[in-house]
Amino acid sequence: MSRIIKFLILLSSLSLFGLELSKQPEITKVGKVLYPKTMKSSKKEGKVKLFINLTSKGKIKSYGFYKSTDKSFESSIKKGIYKFKFSSAEYKDIPISVKLIYTYNFKLDNSADNTKIDKVKSNKWYKKEKKAIDKRSKDEALTRPKDQDKRSKDEALTRPKDEDKRSKDEALTRPKDEDKRSKDISTAVSPTKKEIAKKEIVKKEIVKKEALVLTKNPILKRFVEAKYPEELRKQEVEGIVTLFIDVDENGNVKNVGVIKSDNENFNKAAVEAVKKFEFTPAEYKDKKVPVRITYQYNFVIKDKKEATKEEIKKAKEEKTAIIEKADYESIRGVILGYGNREPLSYVTVRLISETDDEFETVTDENGKFLFKNLENGDYKIIIDPKDKYLGYETKENIKKGKLVNIKISLPQDLLNPYELTVIKKKAKKEVTKETISVEEIMKIPGTNGDALKVVQNLPGVSRAGGLSGALIIRGNNGLDSRVFIDGHFVPMLYHFGGLTSVFNSELIQDVSYYPGNYSAKYGRALGGIVDVTTKKLKTKKDRKNIHGYLDVDLIDTSAMIDIPIDDKSAVAVAFRRSYIDTILPLILPDSMNDVARALPVYYDWQLKYDYNFSKKSQLSFTHFGSSDNFELFFDKPVGDPGLSGEFSMSTFFIDNIIAWDYKINKKMKSKFSMGLQYLSQKFKISDFIDINGLSYITTMREDFIYKINKDFTLNLGMDNWLAWATYEFTVPDSMPNHNTGETGSLSDYGRIYDKNSMFYFLPAVYTELISEFGQLRLITGLRSDYSSENNRLTLDPRISAIYTLNNKLLFKGGIGQFHQPPQDYQTDRKFGNLDLKNQYSIQYTLGTEYRFTDFINMSFELFYNDQRDLAVTSTKKVIIDGEIVNENFNNDGRGRAYGAEIFLRHNMSSKFFGWISYTIMKAERKDHDWDDWTLFRYDQTHILTMIASYKISNGWQIGTRLRYVTGSPKTPIVNSIYNADSTTYSPIYGEPNSVRNDAFFQLDLRVDKIWQFETWMLSFYLDIQNVTNYANQEGVSYNYDYSESSKVEGIPFFPSIGIKGEF
Amino acid sequence: MKYFIILTILFILLPSCGEDTKSKANKVNKLEVLAIKVDKPQAHPGDVIIANSLVGHPEDYSNEFHTIWFLCNPSDNSGFKSCMSEDGIIGLPTIDNNEFHFTVPADVLSQGAKNKKLYILFTICEADMQKCQDTMMNEAGNGLESDLFRFSYKTVEIVQDSMPIMNHNPKIKSIYLNGEELTSSDISLKARENDKENNKNDNIFKAEVTSDSFDEIKTPKGEKDFESIVLVWKSTLGDIKYYYTDQKHDEKLSDLDENPFNTALKSEVDTYHIYIIAIDNRGGVDWKVLNITNEK
């Protein structure tokens, strides 16, 4: 296969040309369009490029603008557009809807010729109507009486000779564009077009737009010529066979079928040849995906006479010689986005010569494009406006054989950030996994641009009360779900009060959220997993410029700079600090300012360095840390005679992760990574609670992927933790009941103290086999964990299956076991129980996903989480080594959570994006088998989140979020008892978790405005939380003896503004 | 645990941020138990213990109420919780007596046990006796959920005969008003004209316990320290600023120990009360009651 033919196929595959119209639409009347007064007075000319959707009757159904010299020209077009008249387009002589590309020129001397249509394209109505016409034709053909064929033949025989002549004349007077259409392949490559046109077989490929827009189209890399059927050649019969080709994720042809054919005797030859084709894999978001493409195989006889094999060979050699001789670069370019100067990939670049020959190419992943073999002359370089960027046009003079380098800065359509916000991958491993692409979700209301806060809006995530930053997934305890960064455990996801996350959103590639039935790759969590993948930095090979930003809002300031060092390495640094500590004193009463020794303050920082040894081998180092600190000091006791002095909380951690990705060969890939974490936590409430913990945790992972063949992939890995921890604590001698939320007065308890150092080792190995059986994908996994704290070895089998019925509907289900070691304090040598077993859950998920349209899809899941051996407090005495001791904790606890989740999403269209997430669930606990089930404190029957975002225009965008959540259960206080030892009252509780807080309702609003400049961008946002100032109940506050109570209300109407400069 | 702590802090702070209209601990606005004192917070099996109660109520209170004393010996190590059922109750109740006498059962300590906590239950029922009995019977035998009852308890620690008893009840030595030591519990103060004078703070009280009230203790970490004495302040009328003040063993009274007091309004009754209760860490209790007369 010669390179020129490959190029030809590439070009044809990336365009949507070739409407098979039997009659082109025309402008029959140019409507009166007034010249804008302002433009006229300033003597300015201009043009407006627009698209018009025509009905099959030639009426205007809708229209829209691509670009214009000035908005006032657009206004004039709007007023006059419906005065235009068109003749209808026809397909197989039947009127059909089409989309027109039309440019209206405004000339001051009225010399503009506005009667020509630029281009005719298909649209959704065209596709539907065409399908209907084809079906009707087929049906008619099947039901046509046999004698009709004969009649046609007879008609031909009896047709007057002048009719033949008329046909010839028609051909001579045929519109030019029709001629152009017939030679579209040959005009795609300039220098050799004539030679190629002479070839016996011409091929044309159309890649249909799939439901999801591919980021990389498949390119035919191996073409096999079809054997021309001898009989047909002798009869000089030519024809086209339209086929569908199923190309798998490796670019291999899996299945071929004939859609239609001019002559069924061509079919076999075409199918046999196409089966031997090879393509480059199609990609969607950098992942290889299988696609179905439509391909037309044209059987054309050269000069209407049989060519010998020798002639064909000779022609091929001649053509190759010409091509190779003429192979030189003409235009090499790169397209960068306005503002952040990020390379724009997959942008279609059109080139039009003086003779109206048109060429087309697409930028690669680094925003680069290349045109070769251009003749002398002026060329227009045109980029048509698309969803993600605005249009562009320039002119270049080309001299044959000389290379022109150009750089294009393309204004981006920045208010289209939500496209594919949450991606459901086709080839996924987990039953439930939502992957969030961070670039696209920065403007969801109520999140202050924090990508990780979006997790709180996904199905299955309960609302943690008040300002708590706990991550509550499917009714599990906050400590039962884990957060990872690049597969390594981090102690927390959000800063104090859940205000913002601990990792900069700009350094995040995506956030994967697994509410349950997660892969064997992960473990040590009874609930769900959130895994944050850091961004792969761009080296100078991919981007020359430094990228950075400064973001200032009412809560904190953050900054980031990303520097490509050379072709192999890049570094990025980010920092954020809150200034609540400087703002709060202005709004707090004086009495509070007296006691606030250190008001809430947080900061975090990140450093990332990437080094690419080669395409196969990459190293990355990520260093990050976070600090939260809060300290109050009360001179006099508050609420409790013992409660005075210091109230403080601080969490500080530093994490270092080094990862090495190595692609061993086409089938094997390895990722080895190590993390070293330093974690310091301090909590103090007067003299009653004083906890100081310090730990060094080393984590080590190996994730090895072996693709056995196209149907089987084996994942193997290890996931080890090695930790040394020391802690010192003074805590009440009886812990509050976690399940019911009972607290009581701290003065009611005695205090215990301990200081201990411990070393523990948590190694784990896993294996996972992904098997493809046609439409069924089966994932079987096995994970084994050991925990040295309590000397337990566990084995977790997991299985899940995904059955893809068709490209719209799939079914999925999974069952698996998930173990979690006890918390540190539960295995304390004095006050814990070293004999505790690991807690475990058996999780079941069953669901379906359905894609309604290209934009709207839905998933529905049922889940059941059966939790066993939960660690609960115990007052029993047990005999250990012959000694009677307190048991403190045992594994008698049970838990269960079950429910359903619906996630209905509308991906970003040109204007709108939104989703509805609804969960109905029940979560229950009991301390012993013989107890009755009681509601768990995170049971929230209904969790509804609705998000919508609408692009207005001129850089404005508005978004809203609405949340409704059933109030969390709580245990009522029915009376109180006076403790004369401490002079405090202790509550007397009613039935555990038998009442609820009021339901939570909140409406948030966000408005964004972006100003775009060539080298930087400025954005402003207003984010208002609780627009309706709804008084949400976050808890109950009692008076001193619990005889009176009132609601503790959450965030009132809370506006926040921010401004961000980005370069 | 972290979130528990955060929430605790927030719950302490949140009421401070807005106006809380709920009744405060430093005001006696209903019938309530203010303190229970025993002569021996620590005792041996067989000892006789005498308990007294301090009950307060608003000046215009006139309802009928009854008091009931019980002794509770918890059957297991679940502490006071088992006293909420009938399991741990021993002996017959003593009704409407200011004092409660009982003898610690000789067999209260199980074999080998060094100590055990007994609980003295003191309950006020704010109704006639018949209604009190009926309510208690209807409420599953304990009336826990009925607002007729005010429950309170006091701990007595019983130690082995071989162990010494370490009772060291605090004594309120002096009370100062505007820097002058009071010589009598009957004092006369200028009545407030109107509510706007609420923050005037004309009167500054301080209370001082005797220096030998402080015991040497060990912290949970095992370090040596001295206990601090907590002073509880309540008034039936007027506004005493702090519910608690505290006194360290080696600290002299300072500005930090001042407790400002706004007197009652002229329109209110002529005589009202301030209660000052001192408690230590070992169950020791002392109290003083000031009788205040409005100077009109």
The answer to whether B103 touches B138, Cβ cutoff 8 Å, is no
Q: What is the mean pLDDT of residues A1032-1043?
A: 86
Tell me the C-alpha distance between A763 and A972, whole Å. 43
What per-residue confidence (pLDDT) applies to A330? 84
Q: Is the pLDDT score of B48 beyond 90?
A: yes
pLDDT digits (tens, 9 = 90+) for A451-496: 777 788 888 988 887 666 778 899 888 889 998 999 998 888 888 7
- The verdict on B11 touching A (C-beta cutoff 8 Å) is yes
Q: Is the pLDDT score of A16 beyond 70?
A: no
What per-residue confidence (pLDDT) applies to A283? 75
What per-residue confidence (pLDDT) applies to A965? 94
What per-residue confidence (pLDDT) applies to A588? 64
The answer to whether A506 touches A532, Cβ cutoff 8 Å, is no
What per-residue confidence (pLDDT) applies to A765? 97
Q: Is the pLDDT score of A564 beyond 90?
A: yes
Q: How confident is the model at residue A642 (pLDDT cuts 50, 70, 90)?
A: low
Count, in order, helices (H) and strands (E) of chain A.
14, 61
Sheet with A377-383, side-by-side order of all strands = A358-362, A348-353, A377-383, A392-398
B234/chain A closest Cα distance in angstroms: 12
Of A105-119, A917-931, A1003-1017, the range with the highest mean pLDDT is: A917-931
Q: Which of A73-77, A169-173, B201-205, B248-252 has the lowest mean pLDDT?
A: A169-173
What per-residue confidence (pLDDT) applies to A926? 93
More reliable by pLDDT, A443 or A301: A301
What per-residue confidence (pLDDT) applies to A705? 95
Q: Which of A40-44, A390-394, A836-840 has the lowest mean pLDDT?
A: A390-394
More reliable by pLDDT, A320 or A11: A320
Of A334-343, A357-366, B16-25, the range with the highest mean pLDDT is: A357-366
Q: How confident is the model at residue A735 (pLDDT cuts 50, 70, 90)?
A: low
Q: How confident is the model at residue A161 (pLDDT cuts 50, 70, 90)?
A: very low
Q: Which residues 741-780 of chain A have a CB within 8 Å of chain B?
A: 743, 748, 751-753, 755
Please name every residue paired with A273 in a beta bridge, in sequence order, or none if there are none: none
Q: What are phi and psi of A313, to 5 degrees?
A: -60, -45
pLDDT digits (tens, 9 = 90+) for A737-755: 433 334 455 655 667 788 8
Tell me the C-alpha distance between B260 and B242, whole Å. 8
Fold held by A422-536+545-1062 = Maltoporin; Chain A (2.40.170)
- The minimal CB distance from A988 to the residues B13, B144, B279 is found for B144
Inter-chain CB proximity B77 and A875 less than 8 Å:
yes
What per-residue confidence (pLDDT) applies to A183? 31
Q: Is the pLDDT score of B2 beyond 70?
A: no
Q: Which of A28-37, A682-691, B7-16, B129-138 has the lowest mean pLDDT?
A: B7-16
Q: How confident is the model at residue A729 (pLDDT cuts 50, 70, 90)?
A: confident
**Burial letters B57-77, b for 16+ CB under 10 A, else e:** bbeeeeeebbbbbbbbbbeee
Q: Which of A86-100, A173-187, A426-440, A592-606 has the lowest mean pLDDT?
A: A173-187
3-state secondary structure of A82: helix
What per-residue confidence (pLDDT) applies to A151? 38
What per-residue confidence (pLDDT) applies to A2? 40
Q: Which of A542-546, A794-798, A856-860 has the lowest mean pLDDT?
A: A542-546
B296/chain A closest Cα distance in angstroms: 33
Q: How confident is the model at residue A1002 (pLDDT cuts 50, 70, 90)?
A: very high
- The verdict on B19 touching A (C-beta cutoff 8 Å) is no
What per-residue confidence (pLDDT) applies to A202? 32
- The verdict on A1046 touching B (C-beta cutoff 8 Å) is yes
Fold match flag (B32-159 vs B172-295): yes
Tell me the C-alpha distance between A599 and A496, whole Å. 11
The answer to whether B295 touches B190, Cβ cutoff 8 Å, is yes
Inter-chain CB proximity A980 and B32 less than 8 Å:
no
Inter-chain CB proximity B9 and A649 less than 8 Å:
yes
The pLDDT > 90 percentage for chain B reads: 35
Helix pair angle (A309-325, A3-13), 10° resolution? 80
A20 half-sphere exposure, CB direction, 13 A CA radius: 11
Average pLDDT, chain B: 83
The pLDDT > 90 percentage for chain A reads: 26
Average pLDDT, chain A: 79
Q: What is the pTM of this model?
A: 0.69
Q: Is the pLDDT score of A650 beyond 80?
A: yes
Q: How confident is the model at residue B201 (pLDDT cuts 50, 70, 90)?
A: low
Fold held by A329-410 = Immunoglobulin-like (2.60.40)
pLDDT digits (tens, 9 = 90+) for A934-988: 999 899 999 999 988 888 877 788 889 999 999 999 888 888 888 888 888 888 8
What per-residue confidence (pLDDT) applies to A8? 34
Q: Is the ipTM of this complex over 0.90?
A: yes
- The verdict on B242 touching A (C-beta cutoff 8 Å) is yes
The pLDDT > 70 percentage for chain A reads: 79
Q: Is the pLDDT score of A167 beyond 50?
A: no
- Counting every residue written for chain A, the total comes to 1063
What per-residue confidence (pLDDT) applies to A992? 86
Domain with CATH 2.40.170.20 in chain A: 422-536+545-1062
> Which helix or strand (DSSP H or E) is residue B93 part of?
strand B89-95
Inter-chain CB proximity A641 and B230 less than 8 Å:
yes
Q: How confident is the model at residue A442 (pLDDT cuts 50, 70, 90)?
A: low
**Of the candidates B86, B118, B120, B117, the residue with the CA atom closest to the CA atom of residue B101:** B120
Q: How confident is the model at residue B218 (pLDDT cuts 50, 70, 90)?
A: confident
Residues on chain A touching B150 (C-beta within 8 angstroms):
978
Domain with CATH 3.30.2420.10 in chain A: 3-15+175-325, 26-135
Q: Which residues 129-158 of chain B have a CB within 8 Å of chain A?
A: 144-147, 149-155
Inter-chain CB proximity A641 and B2 less than 8 Å:
no
pLDDT digits (tens, 9 = 90+) for A359-411: 878 888 778 888 887 888 888 888 877 656 667 778 888 887 788 888 887 76
Can you tell me which residue has the tokens 């040596």? B224
**Of the candidates A531, A793, A476, the residue with the CA atom closest to the CA atom of residue A657:** A531
pLDDT digits (tens, 9 = 90+) for B106-146: 888 887 788 888 999 999 999 998 898 888 877 666 777 88
Q: How confident is the model at residue A53 (pLDDT cuts 50, 70, 90)?
A: confident
What per-residue confidence (pLDDT) applies to B8? 44
Token pair of A876 as six digits: 């029993």
Domain with CATH 2.60.40.10 in chain A: 329-410
Q: Is the pLDDT score of A169 beyond 50?
A: no
Q: What is the mean pLDDT of residues A1041-1050?
A: 86
Tell me the C-alpha distance between A533 and A524, whole Å. 19
Neighbours of A88 (CB within 10 A): 19
Instruction: For domain B32-159, say whether CATH 2.60.40.1930 is its number.
Output: yes
Domain coordinates in residue numbering, chain B: 32-159, 172-295
Q: Is the pLDDT score of A177 beyond 60?
A: no
A981/chain B closest Cα distance in angstroms: 5
CATH number of this structure's domain A26-135: 3.30.2420.10
pLDDT digits (tens, 9 = 90+) for A519-555: 999 999 999 998 888 989 988 887 778 889 999 988 8
Inter-chain CB proximity B246 and A644 less than 8 Å:
yes
Residues on chain A touching B1 (C-beta within 8 angstroms):
683, 691, 825
Rg of chain B taking only CA atoms, in angstroms: 21
Can you tell me which residue has the tokens 């350094």? A507
Inter-chain CB proximity B232 and A1037 less than 8 Å:
no
Tell me the C-alpha distance between A638 and B243, whole Å. 9
CATH number of this structure's domain A3-15+175-325: 3.30.2420.10
Q: What is the mean pLDDT of residues A123-145?
A: 69
* Top-level class of domain B172-295: mainly beta
- The verdict on B118 touching A (C-beta cutoff 8 Å) is no
Q: Is the pLDDT score of A192 beyond 50?
A: no
Of A51-65, A436-450, A654-668, the range with the highest mean pLDDT is: A654-668
3-state secondary structure of A132: helix
- The minimal CB distance from B245 to the residues A636, A647, A877 is found for A636
Q: Is the pLDDT score of A210 beyond 50?
A: no
- The verdict on A1040 touching B (C-beta cutoff 8 Å) is yes
3-state secondary structure of A829: coil
Q: How confident is the model at residue A187 (pLDDT cuts 50, 70, 90)?
A: very low
